[in-house]
Structure 1
Amino acid sequence: MVHKPWAIDQFRRKLDWTACALMPAPRNQCAAATSGGRVYVFGGEYLNEVMEGHEFTLPHKDVLAYDHDADSWSVVTQMPTPRKFCHAITAPDGRIHVIGGLERKPYEWVNSTVIETYVPSTGKWINHGFAPLHMLGAAAGTRDGKIYMLGGFSSDGSYVRSADVSQIEIIGSSASFPRVIAPMPTARVDLAAIEGADGRIYAVGGVVDPGTRSDVVEAYDPKTKSWKVLAPMPTARSNATLAAAADGRIIAMGGMGKCGFTLDTVEAYTPATNSWKTLPSCHCPRMYHASAVTADGRIMMIGGQCKPCCDSERTFLPTAIISKEKIT
């Protein structure tokens, strides 16, 4: 199939990304994962109304699936526990674990530690109950079927940034929490994490002090149970997403930069040289978005919000874009 070129006047550029079909509605702070050749999008929030100058948002219940060949979205199920800021992790058997996030209560969003698994082959859900972990502001990575929760706010409710790393194992309908592993060298929240082709878990960016975005990059080696500090990102950011390329590169996309404005910056880290390179930008600045790698090895960036400068109003995005380059 051929995707239509991206075209929004204020961001019109000649870049190595193209637009996908619009989602049925804008989604901010959603999660995405790939299974069985399709990209699934979970949770997120949408703007319900504005009351006395304040935005009132609600969680998306519908789970979307993207068909790359048809360039189309469809609703495949609804989340048992609708939430935003959740994590979606694909297991080796194709199931998708949806972890943590924020649930909407009548007057506020509250921290959720629920773990639910979606089974694409049957369309059914498995509820694993609640994790004895504080996941707010944490990142999730996976290796060999094990899930690693990195950083976030401390579990004592003080909202102090944490360096803790916890492990989750989900087998069948049971979830276990076997151990806390070596803490990260740098405590932070709103970071991103991913497993690289070398088997290490990369922890990238985040917030280290109130309002201070970080360029810190650290990698955990499960074999040696140790961390290594790597070359910093050229652009400090939080709330970015990552993709792991077959050639070893770790690609960081979008996120929140200085002063809270949105980034369109895409940068790639090469472990062999411990260095970063700037890639073509992602057209429209976005943060609080999701990303996934399609069945044919391309990166998708999905939803989120756009706030191009410090004084601008935020806009929730129904858009998704896909890279021309295959990374796997």
Structure 2
Amino acid sequence: MAAARTKCTSIKWESLPPMPTKRTFSSATIVNNQLYVIGGCDKDGKPLDTVESLNLTKKKKWQRLLNLSCSRAQPAVVTVGNKIIVIGGVSADQSPLDNVDAYDVEKKTWTALKSLEEKLMGVVTCVHNNNVIVIGGMKLNTEPSEKCRVYDIDKNLWLTLPDMPTARYAAFAHLKGDKLYVFGGRQGKSACTVVEMLDLAEKPTPKWVKLADIPHARVFPSYTVTETHIYSYGGLQQQPKEFVDTFEAYDIEKGEWSTLENMPSKHGDFAGGVVGGMVIASGGLGPQQKPFQDTSVFNPSSGAWEIGPECPAGRSSATTLMHDGKLYVIGGFSPTGLTAEIFILKPA
């Protein structure tokens, strides 16, 4: 008989006022304590051009801002100074986009920037020395891209870094100092297990280095990061096609993977992050195909999963955002359909 799991009391949920617009597959960021929710899809799966914001200090009333230049779902979003940069995404006809736009949070205006060299969806991004790095993506012909591009915001100019050895889209990227790590992703319908690293400080030209592969192949896993480890957990394996409870950790210093105690249930599409030093898996979908409320908490100190506080409502396909040690769970699907609700998991 398995030992009873410990109850985690160091974290708690808070509810924010719901968005004016119900949506899923949106993108979000926080600038100057203002939450911005950008694009996404409506209940019919149609991409939106809607942009809304909420002051997180007052937490009272949402503002409808100027629309995006075009409807788009799941664009990549990064913040550089007082500008929100929105890159690519899925268009109204379900094809990739090359649009790049900047929203000035002080002037409250949009500016069209130099577009990508090709239309892409499923890119991943990070910011290095105030430049935006755009990695991989799915091309218009559905092939994965190996390109690694850099956008110089001051010069409105796209530059290139060396191509990744492994083309992919929907990967996970983590920048630690000058080292850019790219984990997994997809190549068509297949899961990619490759991990590669580019040291941006390497002179004269950085070179990609192949690291240890992710031990178990699956699509739609969640990734989250601490100072020492990158965790890969849950998702959907392809043979046989089912959700998994796999939980793996990559030791950044040692360059090694370890397989840890399985998650308490097999699922994917959940909200993941690190709150109060604990690794979080909240909501998501399992074999029952219905969003659930459970929050599981992995304690790195004990190496065991604990029972966290239930999310106020079942949730899947939510937009998730880590900011200031808090996990934001935005929109997505509840058991009754598309929702505009927003919850925050934070230290108690």
Q: 1:84 aligns with which of 73, 87, 93?
A: 73
Displacement, 1:270?
Answer: 1.5
* Distance across 2 between alignment mates of 1:38 and 1:257: 33
- Structure ID, larger Rg: 2
Select the structure that is richer in strand. 1
* Contact 2:222–2:235 (CA under 8 A) maintained in structure 1: yes
Q: Where in structure 2 are there 5+ consecutive unaligned residues?
A: 1-10, 119-134, 138-143, 145-167
Query: What corresponds to 2:347 in structure 1?
Result: 326
Q: Give me the identity figure in percent.
A: 22
Structure 1 residue 45 and structure 2 residue 75: aligned?
no
Taking a change above 3 Å as real, the CA distance of residues 101 and 192 of structure 1, as seen in their structure-2 partners, is farther
* Contact 2:199–2:208 (CA under 8 A) maintained in structure 1: no
* Distance across 1 between alignment mates of 2:256 and 2:99: 29
Q: Secondary structure at the match of 1:259?
A: coil
* Contact 1:111–1:136 (CA under 8 A) maintained in structure 2: no
Q: 1:58 aligns with which of 46, 49, 59?
A: 46
Query: What corresponds to 1:36 in structure 2?
Result: 32
* Distance across 2 between alignment mates of 1:118 and 1:229: 42
Query: How many pairs were matched up?
Result: 284
* Distance across 2 between alignment mates of 1:177 and 1:46: 42
Taking a change above 3 Å as real, the CA distance of residues 181 and 254 of structure 1, as seen in their structure-2 partners, is farther
Q: Counterpart of 1:300 in structure 2: which amino acid?
A: Y
TM-score normalized with structure 1 length: 0.71
Query: What corresponds to 1:104 in structure 2?
Result: 92
Q: Counterpart of 1:33 in structure 2: which amino acid?
A: T
* Distance across 1 between alignment mates of 2:233 and 2:114: 30
* Contact 2:198–2:209 (CA under 8 A) maintained in structure 1: no
Structure 1 residue 192 and structure 2 residue 180: aligned?
no
Displacement, 1:112?
Answer: 6.0
Taking a change above 3 Å as real, the CA distance of residues 289 and 116 of structure 1, as seen in their structure-2 partners, is same
Q: Secondary structure at the match of 1:102?
A: coil
Displacement, 1:18?
Answer: 3.7
Query: What corresponds to 2:306 in structure 1?
Result: 277
Query: What corresponds to 1:263 in structure 2?
Result: 292
Displacement, 1:178?
Answer: 6.0
* Distance across 2 between alignment mates of 1:220 and 1:61: 37
Displacement, 1:227?
Answer: 2.3
* Contact 1:89–1:96 (CA under 8 A) maintained in structure 2: yes
Query: What corresponds to 2:327 in structure 1?
Result: 299
* Contact 1:113–1:132 (CA under 8 A) maintained in structure 2: no
Structure 1 residue 19 and structure 2 residue 15: aligned?
yes
Structure 1 residue 152 and structure 2 residue 148: aligned?
no
* Distance across 2 between alignment mates of 1:138 and 1:152: 4
* Contact 1:89–1:142 (CA under 8 A) maintained in structure 2: no
Q: Where in structure 1 are there 5+ consecutive unaligned residues?
A: 1-14, 48-55, 308-313
Taking a change above 3 Å as real, the CA distance of residues 18 and 186 of structure 1, as seen in their structure-2 partners, is same
Displacement, 1:179?
Answer: 3.3
* Contact 2:19–2:342 (CA under 8 A) maintained in structure 1: yes
State the Cα deviation string for residues 52-109 of structure 1 (Å, max 9, x = none): xxxx421122233221222132234544564334454567x6765656653331xxx3
Displacement, 1:139?
Answer: 4.3
Taking a change above 3 Å as real, the CA distance of residues 244 and 16 of structure 1, as seen in their structure-2 partners, is closer
Structure 1 residue 219 and structure 2 residue 249: aligned?
yes
* Contact 1:253–1:267 (CA under 8 A) maintained in structure 2: yes
Q: Secondary structure at the match of 1:59?
A: coil
* Contact 1:267–1:277 (CA under 8 A) maintained in structure 2: yes
Taking a change above 3 Å as real, the CA distance of residues 63 and 145 of structure 1, as seen in their structure-2 partners, is farther
* Contact 2:101–2:110 (CA under 8 A) maintained in structure 1: no
